[in-house]
Chain A
Amino acid sequence: MRLKHACIKGALVSLGAVLMAGSALAADAVTIKLGSWRTEDIAVWQDKLLPAFEKEHPEIKVEFAPINTNEYNAAIQSQIEAGAGPDLLTCRPFDVNREWIRRGYFEPLKDFSPIKDFSDTSKAAWTDGKGEPFCLPVAAVLAGFYYNVDIFKELGLQPPKTADEFTAVLQKIKDSGKYTPLAYGSADSWQLAYNGLYNIGPAYWKGEEGRQGLLDGKKKLTDPDFVAAFKAFAAWKPFMPDGQASLQYADMTQLFTIGRAAILPDGSWDINQVTATGLNVGVFGPPSATADGKRYLQEMPDMAIGINATSKHKDAAKVFLTWLASPSFQELYVNEAPGFFSMGSKPVAYKNELAQKFADQKKGAELTPRLALDRLSAGNPPLDDETWRVLQVMMTSDKLTPDAAAAELQKGLDSWYKPQK
């Protein structure tokens, strides 16, 4: 009995010693938590990015703590409202973040000098109403078209530069009878907006000119420029596979990668999946819609990182953000996560060939984010969600013509967005 007690006592003492040693270590190195919705990036952060940071800053340990994408907003909101939450928050672009800023979740970055290396357009997705920055931009994604180089060679086709050429290419592939022109379906409504309408649309509504026009109420979705974009998108229908109404995003990628379809309208984030089968893949940007050949490209600010206003380790968090702003991090990140593009003003080299081809599309093109995510989705009905729904109806049935689709969206916007009233 006595022996047993002695054992327990010994165990307790050594446990205490371990705990004390642990806290002594903790006093030397600060641990900060980074909240993210990118559960799929856990290996990249833990094995590549964070070790690189910790090598330069041994006094700071960073823990990557991802939350399931769908539950990220709710989880972060409930944690912060309860006075907790990770020290660093990954910021959703535009309206969600603006609401979070309004609720005081973030430490302001107005006087944080590394953020001055980013252009105003890069910072715009994470500013408050007055344009003050709250998150440090990390990565953007692009949208365009992947094409099967071998099919193009076989049929003697060139990547199209104008809308007319694009239609001609689609028609030729269809006439060949061997391949489906577009690997595209309507079951996942989000990508009808992000990879479809918001991809080719800026060429019709003239990118920022049209988008800013909607924002300040000078333009309406029923204006001819916007309706033309809806019409151009609806014109894809005859080139989509049979039964496209119930084809999902994964089906589309599959149809393309097994070589049964020639063109896949998609985002840069899908680079790894598209090339997984060793297919010879090329990239072209959205075709221009005007005679002058002006090109537009959707560059969507995807991810930024801000500091939790209630964090106890703000200094360490700032050291981390300073590192995020450096070209060395940006180059590391975009090459570890191909399909994501640096938002810094210094040029970055992409080792992935397709990523470089995507990045090349930016040259000479006017960049514009997704149409409806900035301010236009901060009310009920949110324009972005409505666009998903309305485009799905337009693409899967005869219930909505392009004109009617644009009119229905404008009606929703009129009901709450003040500049449009």
Chain B
Amino acid sequence: MIRPTTARISLALFVLPALTIYIAFAVLPLALSILMSFFSTKDTAGRVFVGLQNYYYLFTHPVTSARFWNALLNNIEYFAIHLIVEVPIGLLLAGLLTSGLLRRSEGIYRTLLFIPATLSVVIVGFIWRLIINPLWGFVHFPLLGNEMTALPVISLMSVWQYVGIPMIFLYSALLAVPEDIVEAARIDGASNWRIFWGIKFPLIAPQFGLIVILTYIWTFNGFDLIFALNGSAPGPNYSTDILGTLFYRTFFGSSGQVADIDLGATVATVIFTIILVVTAVYFWLVQRRLKTYQI
């Protein structure tokens, strides 16, 4: 028989390796980055504590704050397009895959639709840029060179790439819906539409909520596709600049710009806060109220 104390020690020992790695590579860098945002290294005297001065600069300097708000608004648009297009299409595809309409080709579709998500963003960006290139591609309008269309177009490229993620997530949730409930509804004369919205969707609502909040986290941490397509000063006129590219530009500088490590850490902390607050509010207010049915 194992004594409780031994159990507790072995539990701690089992958790330790993962915890060590997590602390060393996630918690510590995050904490240090937050700490850095309260210091200034701009003077030769080394690191000086400046309190909230970096935040004050970020939010009040006419040029820097304008870039920040622009990036935040663009990021909200980037998220909104994912929310309005990617998640519903993912749900639709998951619904179709589990509807039985596809019969034996279900596996093929599932794989095909998921493949883009496994590609590198650099490849996705490159292919799409060629497809819509006015010189060699199918579209003669400079979609990426116009302030109105550039961000929606890039968002849709990202939607195309990642639609497989919500699809596969909701698909596996739908598979877990017991067949007998669906059978019972069908015997009662419910249509497929009614069955989906009246039975299946309420059962997968918690997973649906989760994919929404994950989309929020992914898009607010977004960076790679836009950087691959438009570099670190994404134009035209910063119309495709999101928080990730703003951070990169600030932190790393450029050939003509000194790297501003302090302000970069400040931007990173603000991004972290934006994600943390919304995610926390969501979990407290929404996710807890979604009913999980015992089935």
Contact = CB atoms under 8 A, between A and B. Distances in A.
Contact of A189 (B41, B63, B233, B251): B233
Contact of A243 (B44, B129, B140, B235): B140
B251 A396 contact: no
A255 B252 contact: no
B255 A244 contact: no
Given A73-B254, A187-B145, A396-B145, A380 B63 contact: yes
A96 B62 contact: no
A393 interface: yes
Interface of B: 41, 43-44, 46, 61-64, 129, 132-136, 140-147, 230-233, 235-238, 248, 251-259, 261, 264
CB-CB nearest 6 A-B residue pairs: A243-B134, A245-B145, A246-B145, A246-B142, A74-B259, A245-B142
A246 B137 CA distance: 12
Interface stretch (A49-57, A115-123, A384-392): A384-392
Given A389-B235, A396-B236, A415-B62, A382 B134 contact: no
B237 A389 contact: yes
Which of A37, A188, A242, A380 has the most C-beta atoms of chain B within 10 angstroms of its own C-beta?
A: A380
A280 interface: no
Residue of A244, A245, A251 ringed by the most chain B CB atoms within 10 A: A245
Interface string A174-209: 000000000001111100000000000000000000
30 contacts: A37-B255, A69-B255, A71-B252, A73-B254, A73-B257, A73-B259, A74-B264, A77-B259, A78-B261, A81-B46, A92-B255, A94-B256, A96-B257, A96-B258, A102-B44, A103-B43, A186-B145, A187-B145, A187-B235, A189-B236, A243-B133, A244-B142, A245-B142, A245-B145, A246-B132, A251-B135, A377-B256, A380-B63, A392-B235, A396-B146
A95 B258 contact: yes
A380 B64 contact: yes
Contacts of B235: 187, 189, 388-389, 392
Given A103-B44, A243-B135, A392-B235, A77 B261 contact: yes
A179 B253 CA distance: 39
State the main secondary structure of chain B at its contact with A: loop
Given A73-B254, A385-B256, A388-B233, 16 more contacts: A73-B252, A74-B251, A78-B259, A95-B258, A96-B256, A242-B134, A243-B142, A243-B145, A248-B129, A380-B61, A388-B235, A389-B237, A396-B236, A397-B146, A415-B62, A415-B63
Contact of A389 (B133, B238, B248, B261): B238
B231 A188 contact: yes
A245 B233 CA distance: 16
B256 A384 contact: yes
Contact of A246 (B46, B133, B238, B255): B133
